Structure 1
Amino acid sequence: MDETLIKIQNLKKYFPLKRGVFSKNEYVHAVDNVSFEIPKQKIFSVVGESGSGKTTLGRTILRLTEPTSGQVAYNGENIMALSQKDMMKFRKKMQIVFQDPYNSLHPRRLVKDIIGEGLVIHEKISSNEISDKVKEILKRVGLNEDHMFRYPHEFSGGQRQRIAMARALILNPEFIVLDEPTSALDVSVQATILDLLMELKSTFSLTYLFITHNLAVVDYISDFVAVMYLGQIVEIGKKEDIFNFPSHPYTYALLNSIPDPDPKRKRSRIIPKGEIPSAINPPSGCRFHSRCPYAKEICKVEEPQFFEISEGHLVKCHFPLNKR
């Protein structure tokens, strides 16, 4: 049994909509009653379509976005109950690498100041010591000390993402949220960044929450996978179970959207109907029922509970596709 680093329980994040003085209160249900555990030194991936709540989930776990309700326990301590002052000691341990390296780096600051900012805030050390640490971490991510004195616009997309990774690593964290760290990069660069992430994970004994919509990347890098739809997790388990025995129709549809290199190979497909519904007024019952080809009357009125397909493999569906 893997030791748990992060435990999320009944996490919710609703964003209020302000439409007028006399309009009724409405909320975007971005994350709605999500629970799961992230084992230490593993890569836990969250996948789903755009608008499913993946990024909001990652930001809420780190308290970059404050939750509406729920708990996030870090090594057993509920960080949602802490004051901002008490949260500071956890900020060093939990970092994030954002999706777009073109916008996540301050355009008017030198690389040494961007990477060293965390040390200025959290560590009482001299500027020379900060420079030495920045040089060291730049080498770890495949850059050199000359890059310290350049600005972000002087780098390629892959190099900027390496700088963002160096900024996350400088405080020696245990847990990093990777919010689609390769989606803004050229395909030729993505593989090198993924290999670097794997190398850094091993070197620094890191735990990753990897947010992506690219299932090929998930298959390559992940230990565990959670499939998210309209603010909720609909299937969760080990990577091998999710890919070999997809049990929720939405998971099956996602996996079948991966292009097959053999054009002659025939395979059955589930194509969801229509577009993902609005998170302001999510469907009753099963949230996927309006797009599911297998939906029955119970799916429209009764929300399904998690069904255990095998040990650790759970699916939120009235009629799972694979009952092993």
Structure 2
Amino acid sequence: MSTVDEKTAGEHLLEVEDLHVEFRTRDGVAKVLNGVSYHVDAGETLAVLGESGSGKSVTAQTIMGILDIPPGAVTGGSIRYRGEDLLAASDNRRRELRGESMAMIFQDALSALNPVYTVGFQIAEQLRLRRGMSRKDATKKAVELLDQVKIPNAKQRVKEFPHQFSGGMRQRAMIAMSLALDPDLLIADEPTTALDVTVQAQIMDLLDELRRERGMGLILITHDLGVVAEVADRIVVMYAGRIVESSDAYSLYKQPGHPYTEGLMRSIPRLDLKGQELETIKGLPPNLLAVPPGCPFHPRCPRAEERCGTEVPEYHQLGLGRISACHFAEEMMSRG
């Protein structure tokens, strides 16, 4: 399913290892990321799942070097792009890599786009600044990019402002902007937020098509397992700043290895359950200023036992490249 670029064979395109991030606020220190580790290879799609507040977007912002500091602070770990430690790189080096090597699509395209400039100008601007293109050539390239992301009548739409685009078309324009400098890694943070189901599918198909055509690594951040079912190669599930399960997509959908993943899957609407009440995960994610002892998920977990409230679960190997942070992971796999 994935294609690996020859120049990255034998190494990961991006590797996040044991990443810790804190937010230092007036109310205390919130440990937002607690030892997050994952990787993505060239031509591969990695889906990062979890509810709001699980740490998905903070991880992406730290990778891109756009974490607000303060209040955010990286307290441990490493992030390597093609073997280069990004956390040790200078600000100038990080700016060089943004756009050129790594790009990010933000979840609210209307806020991310500048309302007083045309969409074409905003795409062309980075081509003029980074590639030294003339205004005419940069605008021509912007039209090509809008056409590539399947925006109809691109020659005319390039002259329009963000408010003249629909939600789905604004998201396509954001994708075009992120691809302008031909990055090797694209991070899409909730790219289907506030879009209807049909447009969601179109955006996901477009990202998958572009990933295959360009051979780039793609990180999809979402809270919806249903959105990435057809496009993800691997999936990591986050809860309270920690990865609770990591697996290839097929194995995870066939048999979840963590109660939180199981709950997320049961909350997906299904045609065969039409008319029945949709299942939900009871309770709310923990306050990161006061994460409960033991397993952070135990107050909401239907499988929780006494030890879950006192012992932080270690990672259990459930097969090749598959792990789960649950005391009863093996039991879940054996009995379902």
Match of 1:145 in 2: 155
Tell me how far apart the structure 1 counterparts of residues 59 and 37 of structure 2 sit (CA, whole Å). 11
CA deviation vs aligned residue, 1:250-273 (integer Å, no higher than 9, x gap): 11111111122113899xx98644
Match of 2:110 in 1: 102
Match of 1:204 in 2: 214
SS of residue matched to 1:59 = helix
Match of 2:76 in 1: 69
1:83 equivalent to 2:86? Answer no
1:47 equivalent to 2:55? Answer no
Match of 2:307 in 1: 298
1:30 to 26, 29, 32: 32
User: Does the 8 A contact of 1:247 with 1:323 survive in 2?
Assistant: no
SS of residue matched to 1:236 = strand
Counting aligned pairs with the same residue, the percent is 36
Deviation at 1:241, TM superposition (A): 1.2
2:164 to 151, 154, 165: 154
What count of residue pairs does the alignment treat as equivalent? 316
Tell me how far apart the structure 2 counterparts of residues 109 and 126 of structure 1 sit (CA, whole Å). 18
CA deviation vs aligned residue, 1:50-69 (integer Å, no higher than 9, x gap): 12111111111111116333
Structure 2 unaligned segments of length 5 or more: list them.
none
SS of residue matched to 1:203 = helix
CA spacing shift, 1:248–1:270, aligned 2, 3 Å:
farther
1:247 equivalent to 2:257? Answer yes
1:190 equivalent to 2:200? Answer yes
1:121 equivalent to 2:129? Answer yes
User: Does the 8 A contact of 2:117 with 2:161 survive in 1?
Assistant: yes
Deviation at 1:323, TM superposition (A): 4.6
CA spacing shift, 1:9–1:101, aligned 2, 3 Å:
same
Match of 2:238 in 1: 228
Mean alpha-carbon deviation: is it higher for 33-42 or for 159-168?
A: 33-42
RMSD between aligned alpha carbons? 2.0
SS of residue matched to 1:68 = strand
Q: Which is richer in helix?
A: 2
User: Does the 8 A contact of 1:309 with 1:323 survive in 2?
Assistant: no
User: Does the 8 A contact of 2:167 with 2:195 survive in 1?
Assistant: yes
Deviation at 1:32, TM superposition (A): 1.6
SS of residue matched to 1:73 = strand
1:175 to 168, 178, 185: 185
Deviation at 1:93, TM superposition (A): 0.7
Mean alpha-carbon deviation: is it higher for 147-156 or for 256-265?
A: 256-265
Letter in 1 for 2:333: N
Matches within 5 A, 1:5-20: 5-19=13-27
Mean alpha-carbon deviation: is it higher for 270-279 or for 52-61?
A: 270-279
Mean alpha-carbon deviation: is it higher for 122-131 or for 73-82?
A: 122-131
Provide TM-score, normalisation by structure 2: 0.89
Provide TM-score, normalisation by structure 1: 0.92
Tell me how far apart the structure 2 counterparts of residues 104 and 36 of structure 1 sit (CA, whole Å). 27
Deviation at 1:276, TM superposition (A): 1.3
Deviation at 1:217, TM superposition (A): 1.1
Structure 1 unaligned segments of length 5 or more: list them.
20-25
2:291 to 282, 298, 323: 282
SS of residue matched to 2:187 = strand
